[in-house]
Structure 1
Amino acid sequence: SEAEIPLTSGIKLQTLNYIVSVGLSGRKMSVIVDTGSDLTWVQCQPCRVCYTQQDPMFNPSLSPSYRSVSCNSSTCQSLLIETGNPGICSGIAPQMCNYVVSYGDGSYTRGELGLETLNLGTVSVSNFIFGCGRNNKGLFGGASGLMGLGRSSLSLVSQTSAMFGGVFSYCLPSAEAATAGSLIFGGDSSVYRNSTPISYTDIIPNPQLPTFYFLNLTGVSIGAVALESPSFGKVGILMDSGTVITRLPPSIYRALKGEFLKQFSGFPSAPGFSILDTCFNLSSYQEVDIPDIKMHFSGNAELLVDVTGVFYFAKSDASQVCLAVASLTYEEDIGIIGNYQQ
């Protein structure tokens, strides 16, 4: 079977991540689409520490189909493998399975695991395991929570593999677009709305981080110039819809920045913005020619980063426009292709 859900920019919810609407026993939840984590969770009432979300908060006590996951269940015991933190048993009877998930940017969610009917478009998934978040903090904007699309057994992809075969695809609209993209579960490529042919590249295993999607980045070119770096083809790079800005190993970033400044020269510089260090003041220009960036992967697959993914407008008057790629601190840190470049 197939399920297709509209996927939209999270700008209206004060996040640069992307959002889909799902139902929990028929109640609408707007969740961030994250291929870089596994547990799907929403904020739950009553809540100890919650951020402000746009949709009404989920209240499990009002749902006849909600059940909590018990402490001695195999699901609770598998939490250590799935989230890096063991399921903690609360002292209250009946003993519920508590979870903690921390993200790379310092955000976190804590709560207990529950079972509920999940609605994906017109498809219902019964006994879906998710996190009922009672203590949530971080960069989630006004979303209700997060959809985990990683590779562990707790992720939405794994939990629905009997229905959808463990296959999903997504198409991100540009952040400003009024039109929606799509998140599709199932392998029927006839429903894809791609405007260019699909190319394929292998997902490479990373035994230390088995739940992530790693690709083999074999090269990067700017305009017609291929960059030189000893790191190409050596390191897996993480494809992550839940990270905004792409982060490259320092050796690749230095080569990219140097070549970009050669091809995009003569423009006044501007101060750096957050993690972005290559910025320009373009406020006095009507239009400029911006070189395209291409990322190359094994199997001759290419990802073309067009204008919308090359520059981040830190100021809307174009007085601070930055190359939307950042450097990792250390060469052995994990490179990430963020959604801004996807």
Structure 2
Amino acid sequence: MATRDLAGVPPLPANDENMGLEGSKGDDGDDNGAPAVDWRPPRRPLSAPLSSLQGWGGGNGAESGATILELRHHGGGGGGLGKSGERSREEELGGLFSSDAARVSSLQRRAGGGGGSWAEDEAAAAAATGRVPVTSGARLRTLNYVATVGLGGGEATVIVDTASELTWVQCAPCASCHDQQGPLFDPASSPSYAVLPCNSSSCDALQVATGSAAGACGGGEQPSCSYTLSYRDGSYSQGVLAHDKLSLAGEVIDGFVFGCGTSNQGPFGGTSGLMGLGRSQLSLISQTMDQFGGVFSYCLPPKESESSGSLVLGGDTSVYRNSTPIVYTTMVSDPVQGPFYFVNLTGITIGGQEVESSGFSAGKVIVDSGTIITSLVPSVYNAVKAEFLSQFAEYPQAPGFSILDTCFNLTGFREVQIPSLKFVFEGNVEVEVDSSGALYFVSSDSSQVCLALASLKSEYETSIIGNYQQKNLRVIFDTLGSQIGFAQETCDYI
């Protein structure tokens, strides 16, 4: 159980990191009198069979041949949460959680085997066998992490998403586009740009990725392959399938297939679009199989530290900076259930106490970079909630907020004892959640601090491990080896 000092520092880092929230601390550094939380406890080694432990990180990738994209906090406008004068903090948080719930609903529809539109509101960013900056989308007003990549002769800042199959960016001339910080991609300025025809294999793959019964084609002798991606919350992207040069921290991918969107609407937070890291023929991972071997990893940075994380493409573990050994669990393959990365969740411990629930028998969960709050089937969530309440009983409860129904009033407490939270995956692989991922500060004065987990509606839905519980973890996706790895790491891109 970790002790947290609640005096003198803003209690908002938990919100700010992966959520796209600015927090109560102003850009000038003032703490506005808010209480404080030290969110960086000493890390304890993970427990796992010796056979599942592998390597300790080291090096900076300079001599490794790895391409490393920075996942960084975007410095663009947007202002602090609740500072615009137009919406209160609670209103903005409510909107963020509503969007997260819509994403979860979209994931459930796909994971349940149903047809319909391609995945969610957020997406994935490109990276190469090395370091590419990965940034919190906070100031871009998006829920997730962003990275900047080269496309054609320009740059694009895209949302990183492991549940999206197709990369798309906004293109000029745009009939209807969401607000974007920076210029639109202009196909006319790129000599290597070309639209793909309807009879291309990529257009066939697009039909599979989007769940469309048939591709849409324009007129002419070689009609272009068009796409429509619609999301659960009503946002969408429409355009043509094309290819161009993609640059990932200097690594150039010729003929990269993506969507060139000329009609796009939704809460994409000033970004250029989305880049898909999901499991499909058109995802970044599949298109760069020869270069990176189907392996990528990320370390998602905490917002309050103003640090950047990294998105690494390729299997060179020497570029990681993990402080504990990597532990691997088996990746569950399910081609019927979309582009998702599944693992078997066999247990959860709270403060070292094993949670008892029949819901663990279902096993399979999605590890997702785009969902914020971890959502569990009701039987598991209720058991976790009961155990947490038992161990957190000395603190008064507060009303729930949006999808978070277990909240506390921590005003007047200088320190709090936060029970540790661990996920146990197949193979007895234990992954401890960073202490900042256990609680979510809804109010800036600590009067409403919530357990950062949510319940799904049905036992038949699929649990999702969200990015809020993945902070300061190196998460490795090895698609050819069919395994996902975890290690503690302070996410700081250099």
- Normalised to the residue count of structure 2, the TM-score between the two structures is 0.67
> Structure 2 CA distance, aligned partners of 1:194 and 1:120?
23
Amino acid at match of 1:185: L
Is the aligned partner of 1:203 residue 2:331? Answer: yes
**Aligned residue pairs: how many?**
342
Distance 1:316 1:16, change over 3 A: farther
Equivalent residues in 2 for 1:89-108 (5 A)?
89-91=217-219, 95-103=223-231, 105-108=233-236
8 Å Cα contact 1:9/1:176 also seen in 2 = no
Match of 1:80 in 2: 207
Task: Give the partner amino acid of 1:83.
Answer: T
The higher-RCO structure (CA 8 Å, 6+ apart) is 2
CA distance in 1 between counterparts of 2:163 and 2:300 reads: 16
Contact map agreement 2:172 2:185 (CA 8 A) in 1? yes
Number of the residue aligned with 1:121? 249
Distance change (3 Å), C-alpha of 1:170 and 1:113 = same
More helix by share: 2
Q: Which residue of 1 aligns with 2:70?
A: 6
Distance in 1, Cα, partners of 2:309 & 2:155: 19
- Range moving further from structure 2, 136-145 or 219-228: 136-145
C-alpha distance in structure 2 between counterparts of 1:309 and 1:157, whole Å: 28
| Residue identity (%) | 56
Partner of 1:221: 349
Query: In structure 1, which of residues 36, 60, 74 is the aligned counterpart of residue 187 of structure 2?
Result: 60
SS state at 2:179 partner: coil
* 8 Å CA contact retained: 1:240, 1:337: yes
Instruction: Return the structure number with greater strand share.
Output: 1
**Secondary structure of the corresponding residue to residue 259 of structure 1:** helix
Partner amino acid for 1:268?
A: P
State the TM-score, normalizing by the size of structure 1: 0.95
Q: CA deviation at 1:106?
A: 4.7
Q: Find the aligned partners of 1:268 and 1:138 in 2 and give their Cα distance.
A: 39
Q: Which residue of 2 aligns with 1:149?
A: 277
Partner of 2:155: 28
- Aligned partners of 2:228, 2:316: CA distance in 1, in Å? 35
| SS state at 1:238 partner | strand
Inter-partner Cα distance in structure 1 for 2:265 and 2:398: 32
Judge which range, 96-105 or 269-278, deviates more: 96-105
In the TM superposition, 1:192-271 aligns within 5 A as 192-271=320-399
Q: Determine the C-alpha separation between the residues in 2 that align with 1:197 and 1:10.
A: 29
Q: Is the 8 A contact 2:66 2:319 kept in 1?
A: no
CA contact (8 A) 1:29 1:144 kept: yes
**Letter of the aligned partner of 1:301 in structure 2?**
V
Q: 1-side partners of 2:173 and 2:237: how far apart? A: 15
Mark the runs of 5 or more structure 2 residues left unpaired by the alignment: 1-64, 72-134, 471-494
Give how far 1:320 is off.
2.0
Which 5+ residue runs of structure 1 have no aligned equivalent? none
Which of 311, 325, 330 is residue 183 of structure 1 equivalent to?
A: 311
Tell me which residue corresponds to 1:282: 410
**Match for residue 171 of structure 2 among 44, 57, 60:** 44
Task: Judge conservation of contact 1:26–1:119 (CA < 8 Å) in 2.
Answer: no
1:89, 1:98 within 8 Å by CA — same for their partners in 2?
A: yes
Q: 1:176 offset after TM fit, Å? A: 2.1
Deviation at 1:323, TM superposition (A): 1.2
Aligned equivalents of 1:201, 1:180: Cα separation in 2: 26
> 2:441 aligned to 313, 325, 328, which one?
313
Contact 1:45 1:59 in 2 (8 A): yes
Which 10-residue stretch deviates more, 237-246 or 78-87? Answer: 78-87
The Cα offsets for residues 222-241 of structure 1, whole Å up to 9 and x where unpaired, read as 00111111121423100110
Task: Measure the CA separation in 2 of the matches of 1:26 and 1:304.
Answer: 42
* 1:123-138 aligned within 5 A: 123-138=251-266
